[in-house]
Amino acid sequence: MRPFARIAFVAALMCSAPAFAQTQPGAPPPEPAPIQGPIAVDTPIESPKVDTSTALAATQVPPAIAEDKANTWLLDLSSGGRVTIQLRPDFAPGHVARIQELTRAKFYDGLLFHRVIDGFMAQGGDPQGTGEGGSKLPDLKAEFNRLPHLRGSVAMARAQSEDSANSQFYIVLMPTLKLDKKYTVFGRVTGGMNFADAIERGEPPANPTRIVHAWLASDNPPAYANAPAPAPVAPSILPSITGPLPTAAPGVTPPKN
């Protein structure tokens, strides 16, 4: 190589060195705080016209379950209206039992929907209101089943571990079959879906919708009355204020989680 060409080549390398150095990997950036719930990213939302015929058979409620009022879950919302949910203990007995226990303990009264994504789902049931909380009860064993993520389906949010569902749940606003058998579906809205649609959007919403009261139909709740949401109570099944929060991982930021 001629001297002049050699000098030009070295100069070019020196000029490019800073840019090259900037492309070198450094310490990995800190991971964002995990949130429980279904993941919308990389989870395409299915068209509402998608063929769900293979899963619809599972949505037929056996008469014995439908007639048991303990399997009817009622959510009175601060934004107005009562949402009626048919619970499915035949597919998710552990999750339904948890919903029934927490409801009777008034755990859900006053809690907000902290993560609501338009065209996807509305998630609530966290006493911390951040997506990282739960009850003091043990996490649940996954009960993945054949119930599909159709519009109105209700499923339990979870962290990265399949067996990490606790108290958080989400209502599916549009069919999202990519989540089937990855989260435990334990019920479906049978009345008041228009009120679920009106839940305030946001992650978190600026003016979040709250659960004024959660009821089981078997406990003889009063007729629906639009009333302000009470402040969340702190029964023994709520997390300790001074204790550590339950570990959360990606999943309930749906669906979180």
pLDDT at residue number 254: 47
> Tokens for 179?
């989540």
Answer yes or no: is 18 within a domain.
no
pLDDT at residue number 51: 46
pLDDT at residue number 38: 80
Answer yes or no: is 135 within a domain.
yes
Answer yes or no: is 123 within a domain.
yes
Distance, in Å, from the CA atom of 217 to the CA atom of 195, rounded to the nearest integer, reads 18
Structurally, the chain folds into a number of domains equal to 1
pLDDT at residue number 30: 43
Distance, in Å, from the CA atom of 172 to the CA atom of 49, rounded to the nearest integer, reads 15
> Tokens for 242?
């001074």
Question: What's the pTM value of the predicted model, to 2 decimals?
Answer: 0.74
Answer yes or no: is 83 within a domain.
yes
Q: Where are the beta strands (DSSP E) in the chain?
A: 72-77, 82-87, 113-117, 121-124, 153-156, 169-172, 185-191, 211-216
Burial class (CB in 10 A: 0-12, 13-18, 19+), 83: buried
Answer yes or no: is 89 within a domain.
yes
Distance, in Å, from the CA atom of 145 to the CA atom of 55, rounded to the nearest integer, reads 10
CATH assignment at residue 95: 2.40.100.10
Q: What's the full length of the chain, in residues?
A: 257
pLDDT at residue number 232: 56
pLDDT at residue number 230: 58
12, containing H or E segment: helix 3-22
pLDDT at residue number 193: 97
Answer yes or no: is 96 within a domain.
yes
Q: Considering just the CA atoms, what is the radius of gyration of the chain in Å? A: 24
Q: Which domain holds residue 214?
A: 33-47+67-219
Secondary structure tally for the chain: helices H, strands E:
5, 8
Answer yes or no: is 5 within a domain.
no
Distance, in Å, from the CA atom of 244 to the CA atom of 241, rounded to the nearest integer, reads 8
Strand 153-156 vs strand 185-191: parallel, antiparallel, or unpaired?
Answer: antiparallel
User: Which segments in the chain show pLDDT lower than 50?
Assistant: 7, 9-34, 41-52, 234-257
Q: What does the pLDDT look like over 63-94, one tens digit per residue?
A: 999 999 999 999 999 999 999 999 999 999 99
On whether the CB atoms of residues 184 and 95 are closer than 8 A, the answer is yes
pLDDT at residue number 171: 98
Provide the 8-state DSSP code for 202.
B
Answer yes or no: is 242 within a domain.
no
At which residue do the structure tokens 């043990």 appear? 138
